[in-house]
Amino acid sequence: MYDIALIMGDGIGPEISESAVSVLEIINDRFKLKFSINRVEAGDKALNETGYALPAETLSSIKKSTACLKAPVGESASDVIVFLRRSLNLYANVRPIKSYPNMSALKNNIDFVIVRENTEDLYIGNEFDINDDASIAIRLISKKASKQIASYACNTAKYRNILNKVTCVHKSNVMKKTDGLFLKTCEMVSKTYSNIKFESMYVDACAMNIIRNPEKFDVIVTTNMFGDILSDEAAQISGSLGIAPSANIGDKYAIFEPIHGAAFDIAGKKIANPISIILSIKMMLDWIGIKYNDNEASAVSKVVENAVYNTINKNIKTKDIGGNYTTNEFTKEVINRIQLMQ
Ligand code: ATP
């Protein structure tokens, strides 16, 4: 039995969380694999109700669980996920970008992964005013964290075994100290992998190439803020932010979540795309499969992904990707396919 702490979140968070619960329940029904789901609160609603965006019970529940599945939270995101990434040392933020059929996407045939350093950079939140008219933010890049993320990226390229290539994305011509260190460290780590090709690219060139020729990427390794921005761009090019999952991985803990925010503009309209959280479950199953040597979890991961693929392939889609199915109707279609799949 794997214990899952489920952060229900804000905006469309509770709607897509219910989709996630339905998927975990059908897995419980159909397979030997079993999950217990503990719904926990964090985010704007928790802040209003308890005075804390991340209540102590939520943090303790995450620490006691096998993994955490998290729906997006609203304005208090930095007090929730940015805090969790740093305090639980979830150093790798893994964001697969993949084409699915029948998308009104800018580009098809995309299959790459953004591996983003998750604990440093400008996101450490160390900002202060120097006078009434100017403020300063501190950018932290360390050799230790750069080494850790570079190894993670090289291992990801090796495991994928597609192009066996790592592209280090940076701006070392301007940020000579911080990105200079990041680039040098990534290159050094890549040399310890005999079959990995290493290339480097400025972040502005990368933003352009993600649109121009995304098929040339395999694994992108980058710093925290660049990774945040590039992954939203890449997700939209492959179809919608609503289909993009992510994983925050550390040596002890892991949190799986959609890359998008709380999408307040569509909250309550029943049109949110639940694929992002369903594919986050797929990533969680992959992680459980490797960490606990659980072959069934790895197999069920494929079942979940195929169910999503087959659903979209039949042109069953939510509004953001050109369909008219509601969140619940779409989720039911995926569940039916999980139920029927061999
Ligand atoms: P954050 O800064 O917290 O990541 P954001 O300001 O980038 O948030 P999002 O909440 O991610 O904004 O939403 C960006 C756009 O993508 C919105 O128009 C939103 O409706 C759309 N969107 C995001 N997630 C989904 C989803 N699951 N289904 C459909 N549309 C979505």
- Please work out whether the CB of residue 81 comes within 6 Å of at least one atom of ligand 1: no
Tell me the pLDDT band of 102, cut-offs 50, 70 and 90: confident
Mutate to test the pocket of ligand 1, among 260, 273, 275, 312 (most ligand atoms within 8 A of CB): 260
Note the pLDDT tens digit of each residue in 69-79: 999 999 999 89
Sequence-distant (≥ 6) Cβ neighbours of residue 100 within 8 angstroms: 238, 239, 243, 308, 309, 312
Which residue shows structure tokens 């214990």? 3
Average pLDDT on 85-95 reads 94
Average pLDDT on 313-329 reads 95
Average pLDDT on 70-94 reads 94
- Please work out whether the CB of residue 73 comes within 6 Å of at least one atom of ligand 1: no
Sequence-distant (≥ 6) Cβ neighbours of residue 205 within 8 angstroms: none
Please name which of 48, 68, 49 lies closest in space to residue 60, comparing C-alpha atoms.
68
Ligand 1 atom at shortest distance from the alpha carbon of 274: 27
Residues 297, 314: Cα–Cα separation, whole Å? 26
CA of 262 to the centre of ligand 1 (A): 6
Note the pLDDT tens digit of each residue in 132-180: 999 999 999 999 999 999 999 999 999 999 999 999 999 999 999 999 9
CA of 31 to the centre of ligand 1 (A): 33
Tell me the pLDDT band of 317, cut-offs 50, 70 and 90: very high
CA of 240 to the centre of ligand 1 (A): 9
Nearest CA to ligand 1 atom 19: 263
- Which residues sit opposite 134 in a β-bridge? 131
Tell me the pLDDT band of 64, cut-offs 50, 70 and 90: very high
Note the pLDDT tens digit of each residue in 233-254: 998 888 888 999 999 999 999 9
Nearest CA to ligand 1 atom 14: 263
Mean pLDDT, the chain, integer: 95
The pLDDT of residue 36: 97
Nearest CA to ligand 1 atom 20: 263
- Please work out whether the CB of residue 320 comes within 6 Å of at least one atom of ligand 1: yes
Tell me the pLDDT band of 104, cut-offs 50, 70 and 90: confident
Average pLDDT on 111-135 reads 95
The pLDDT of residue 342: 64
Nearest CA to ligand 1 atom 13: 263
CA of 272 to the centre of ligand 1 (A): 9
What are the tokens at 240? 């919608």
- Please work out whether the CB of residue 276 comes within 6 Å of at least one atom of ligand 1: yes
Would strands 111-117 and 92-98 be described as parallel, antiparallel, or unpaired? antiparallel
Q: Is the pLDDT of residue 106 over 80?
A: no
The pLDDT of residue 240: 85
CATH superfamily placement of domain 1-97+241-342? Isopropylmalate Dehydrogenase (3.40.718.10)
What are the tokens at 161? 């075994």
- Please work out whether the CB of residue 278 comes within 6 Å of at least one atom of ligand 1: no
Q: Is the pLDDT of residue 86 over 90?
A: no
Q: How far is CA 97 from CA 64, 114, 117, 234, 242, in A?
A: 30, 8, 17, 7, 12
Ligand 1 atom at shortest distance from the alpha carbon of 272: 28
- Domain 1-97+241-342 matches domain 106-237 at the CATH topology level: yes
The pLDDT of residue 105: 72
Q: What is the percent of the chain with per-residue pLDDT over 70, rounded to a whole number?
A: 100
Residues 289, 271: Cα–Cα separation, whole Å? 32
Note the pLDDT tens digit of each residue in 17-62: 999 999 999 999 999 999 999 999 999 999 999 999 999 999 999 9
CATH architecture of 106-237: 3-Layer(aba) Sandwich (3.40)
Nearest CA to ligand 1 atom 16: 241
CA of 341 to the centre of ligand 1 (A): 31
218 and 159 Cβ atoms separated by less than 8 Å: no
Q: Domain-by-domain residue ranges, the chain?
A: 1-97+241-342, 106-237
Q: What would the 3-class secondary structure string for the chain be?
A: CEEEEEECCCCCHHHHHHHHHHHHHHHHHHCCCCEEEEEECCCHHHHHHHCCCCCHHHHHHHHHCCEEEECCCCCCHHHHHHHHHHHCCCCEEEEEEECCCCCCCCCCCCEEEEEEECCCEHHHCCEEEEECCEEEECCECCHHHHHHHHHHHHHHHHHHCCCCEEEEEECCCCCCCHHHHHHHHHHHHHCCCCCCEEEEEEHHHHHHHHHHCHHHCCEEEECHHHHHHHHHHHHHHCCCHHHCEEEEECCCCEEEEECCCCCHHHCCCCCCCCHHHHHHHHHHHHHHHHHCCCHHHHHHHHHHHHHHHHHHHCCCCEHHHCCCECHHHHHHHHHHHHHHCC
The pLDDT of residue 109: 83
Mutate to test the pocket of ligand 1, among 17, 44, 241 (most ligand atoms within 8 A of CB): 241
CA of 172 to the centre of ligand 1 (A): 30
